[in-house]
A and B are shown apart, each in its own frame.
Chain A
Amino acid sequence: MSKIIEGLCYSESHEWAKIEGNIAVIGVTDFAQKEMGDITYVDLPEVDDEVSAGEEFGALESVKASSDLISPVSGTVVAVNSELEDAPEKVNEDAFGAWIIKVEMADASELDALLDAAGYKALIGE
């Protein structure tokens, strides 16, 4: 069983977003890290990069495959978790603790299109 946390927003591409005011803290779900296996590299954007909802902002690489990271919201990157550059395995160890980027949201109404914990649980069918 994959871990799911109440109160977060979830995308169908397996990112989570924790909303703190007008900032969205974004990471990938426990389900996603399990599917990927051992993560060996996180391709991060840079602070001040613009991201768009539904568009790729970086990638996770496992030994075998790479998987795009899709932003659940539009806005400006205000922080990246550079700790993951040297310790990508933290995504495997604690997917909800290992945030990837923080985005200052341009349009908070985009959150309505995301799933809640129950909706995400139904999506992954566990």
Chain B
Amino acid sequence: MSELDNSAELKTTCLYEAHLALQAKMSPFAGFMMPIQYEGIVAEHNAVREKVGMFDVSHMGEIFVEGPEAEAIVNHIFTNEIRGYQPGKVLYGMMCYPHGGVVDDLLVYREFEKDHFLLVVNAANIDKDFAWIQEHARDFDCTVRNESPDWGQIAVQGPWSEKTVMEVLGYKEAANLGFYEYCNVEYKGKRLILSRTGYTGEDGFELYTTPENTVEIWNRLLAAGVQPCGLGCRDTLRFEAGMPLYGDELSQEISPVMAGLGMFCKYEKDFIGKEALLEQKAGNLDRKLVGIEIEDKAIPRAGYPVELEDGAPVGTVTTGYHSITLDKSICFALVDKDFSALGTPLWIRIRKKTFPGKVVGKRFYQTKYKK
């Protein structure tokens, strides 16, 4: 997990008081004191799958890259291809080290202003990412600004999210946004980025604006009956939808190719880590991330060993749950690539027993995005 140790001073988001008022169970995450749950993980998870829920994701980082060579530097450090992407589009990808390991996974927003980009990064990695981008931007004509403390962010997720954003907040623009598109609107005269993105496998929006606006919007959504959701169900939701969490399924040691995210790497262009990733893609890698489903209700947890029938170790669980939506015990595991094919029988050691299972696709849940 990408948690920092507790001795480091914990930051809070602009919604900290709101979480306390709701009597959320709070816990340190990525250097921030964050809500893990309010009503309960299952109720919050189901609200997002069936209706609408909202998350405080103000801990995420916002880094702006601007200038004549901004596109060139972003494309140099980003695995996905941003050239040809129009303003108003959002793109997912990674920043990699030369050896193919991952600095971070992130969203890149091409802004409507020429040569302006917004990079949204993981909270635990803000300082590392900012330093990495600055270091590589040195030879390019551009500026790099870390504006993370100046932005709050709320994710409104679930099948009712479009209706919620339109009716509660009055943003009719929401109806015209496709998945991974955004537009700029205003709230109380300040910029609000209305982005049709998320981390749950459902339709949804992420709203970036000032901390003051974020608090107001949270309270309006709450008054309208939107379920507040903590990081507990954010993890169960993203996991079911087959999405990685940096620190668990992507890391300095786990490359996008190992994690099965090669579709977000574009080899027709140059970027940091390309050669190493191409080699891995050609078969020069020892481990791959797989999904495993076991037949029992026992729960495979991060760190549990993955074995063959004779007990030979072949890997480790990275994230696992008894899926709330699917009612199955499933996990992501990093395993020896020789045992990564779909259908391969594998056993997971849970406490004293081993449980038989098999390799399945990582998209456990059929995602429901607006096209």
* A contacts, CB < 8 Å to B: 37-38, 40-41, 43, 56, 59, 61-66, 85
Contact = CB atoms under 8 A, between A and B. Distances in A.
A71 to B, nearest CB: 14
Contacts of B351: 43, 56, 59
Contacts of B350: 43
A85 B37 CA distance: 25
A63 B232 contact: yes
B40 A43 contact: no
A61 B299 contact: yes
Contacts of A63: 41-42, 45, 232, 236, 321-322, 324
A38 B298 contact: no
Interface residues of B, number: 17
A115 to B, nearest CB: 26
B231 to A, nearest CB: 10
B299 A37 contact: no
The 8 closest A-B pairs by CB, nearest first: A63-B41, A38-B42, A40-B322, A61-B299, A41-B297, A38-B40, A64-B232, A41-B299
Contacts of A64: 36, 41, 232
Contacts of B41: 37-38, 62-64
B238 to A, nearest CB: 14
Nearest to A40: B322
A37 B301 CA distance: 17
A41 B322 contact: yes
A63 B321 CA distance: 7
Contacts of A41: 297-299, 322
Contacts of A61: 298-299, 322
Given A37-B41, A61-B298, A63-B45, 12 more contacts: A37-B40, A40-B299, A41-B297, A41-B298, A41-B322, A43-B298, A43-B350, A61-B299, A63-B41, A63-B236, A64-B232, A66-B301
A38 B232 CA distance: 12
A36 to B, nearest CB: 11
Contacts of A37: 37, 40-41
A85 B297 contact: yes
Contacts of B297: 40-41, 85
